[in-house]
Structure 1
Amino acid sequence: MNRELQNFFRELDDLIQDSEHTINEIEKVVFTQRYRLTDEHIAIFSVQTIAMLYAIWEGFIQNTFSKYLVTLNKLNIPFSDCQDSLVIFHLESRFKQFKEYPEKTTKKVTFFSDLRNHFLSDKISFSARVNTESNVSFEVLNKIMSQFALEQFPERWGDNYNYPNPTLKEKMKSFLDYRNGVAHGGDISSNDKVTQEVFNGYKKLVIDLMHGIYDKIYEGAIKKHYLK
């Protein structure tokens, strides 16, 4: 494997370890009575653990795929050899006009000129920005995987996210429902109480997904998924 890719996977492994450490520390502070919190404080902070867990999850997605784009840039992939889905991702990120075509002639000319110069370039240079739509749901995650020409996650994933357990799609939806209830000022009391068991369920979800994403990117890199 290319040295740049090897460095990326070392960084990704460190990111997963750091994320797991932070998640475990959140659990210790709120749920283990390490700091002798009152019942009232536990009730308040336990709800916030879901928002914190989600922040770690979305941050992981942003960091992982941004770092991967930077790594792909270092490979100096010829434009003509790059996987089509990555080219489309790049063009839509670089040229917003594809989604909102300009009406003024001067802006159309500028768009065409920039686009022509872009296609005359020998190498592709990805923007390191990844759109998570501020809600990394099952659908958004698989959209990102598809944009990167990576294997998508199935609704029924392994033994833990299969009958009789909730599917991966269902588990991610309930995770987002909890998070959005907190983040958007909804009626938190209408949700199930966030116990350590509930937290551990979503903790496992996030950690499983982190390792799953690592495995899928690694497999893709081995197969040089970024090439046609």
Structure 2
Amino acid sequence: MAITFVDEIVADIEWRVSELATLKSLPIRYSFRDDHKELQIKYTIPAIYAIWEGFVKNCFSIYSNHLNSLAISRTDIALSLLTHQLDSECDFNNPRINFDAKKRLVNVIDSLLTNTINIKPSIPTESNVNFKVLNKILERFCIDKVDETYEQKLNKLLLFRNKIAHGENSISVNMNNITELFRLLKI
């Protein structure tokens, strides 16, 4: 029996749930000194975020590969997917000032607009997958946006991760924060 892209995503979810469950149990399972326990809890936040961002990137890579297996024709592809593909290859955010750069861009676009469109599995995470970025990615892939009830918690995960990962000491993290973020990811 062939493995479907849904099977691949489910396997990825199962692996990530296992990783998160291990992270969640460490401060409870082992008798760390209090200062070591606090440190482990604090640095669990960047690990949670890494697992989250990795999930987003991997799922859309798997999904891109699935879309490519369908050999979608240029006339049948959704405009959002075509735009994603062209942006992935051409970097539309790059201002092309000189004429030679513009010609190179047109040449790349011309070469990409073949009969069958192949979606590049690059995901524009903008260096941080918060609520807004996640919904931008979903829009590119013609998938419904995430409900606004997740906005505050996804943004909180990113805020905590960034402050901790960049060496700030302004945020106090406790097991309640960890539990809240695990609930966000349904663990």
Q: What TM-score comes out, normalization by structure 2 length? A: 0.92
Residue identity opposite 1:191 in structure 2: I
- The 1-side partners of 2:9 and 2:51 are apart by 14
Matches within 5 A, 1:179-198: 179-187=161-169, 190-195=170-175, 197-198=176-177
Gaps of 5+ in 2: none
Change (3 A) 1:178 1:113: closer
Alignment match of 1:205 (pick from 176, 179, 184): 184
Matches within 5 A, 1:30-179: 30=27, 32=28, 34-96=29-91, 98-119=92-113, 121-156=114-149, 168-179=150-161
1:123-177 CA distances to partner (integer Å, 9 max, x unpaired)?
Answer: 0011111011121111111111111111111213xxxxxxxxxxx2111222222
1:40-74 CA distances to partner (integer Å, 9 max, x unpaired)?
Answer: 10011110011110100000001000111111111
- The 2-side partners of 1:204 and 1:44 are apart by 21
Gaps of 5+ in 1: 157-167, 209-228
Partner of 2:20: 23
- Aligned-pair identity (%): 29
Residue identity opposite 2:159 in structure 1: D
Q: Give 1:185 deviation, angstroms.
A: 1.1
- The 2-side partners of 1:103 and 1:66 are apart by 32
Question: Structure 1 stretch 168-177 or stretch 121-130: which is displaced more?
Answer: 168-177
CA RMSD of aligned residues (A): 1.8
Residue identity opposite 2:13 in structure 1: I
Q: Give 1:7 deviation, angstroms.
A: 0.7
- The 2-side partners of 1:134 and 1:127 are apart by 18
Residue identity opposite 1:194 in structure 2: N
1:160-204 CA distances to partner (integer Å, 9 max, x unpaired)?
Answer: xxxxxxxx21112222221111111112xx324322x32111011
Shift >4 Å, 4+ stretches? none
Q: Give 1:118 deviation, angstroms.
A: 2.4
Does the CA contact (< 8 Å) of 2:86 and 2:112 recur in 1? no
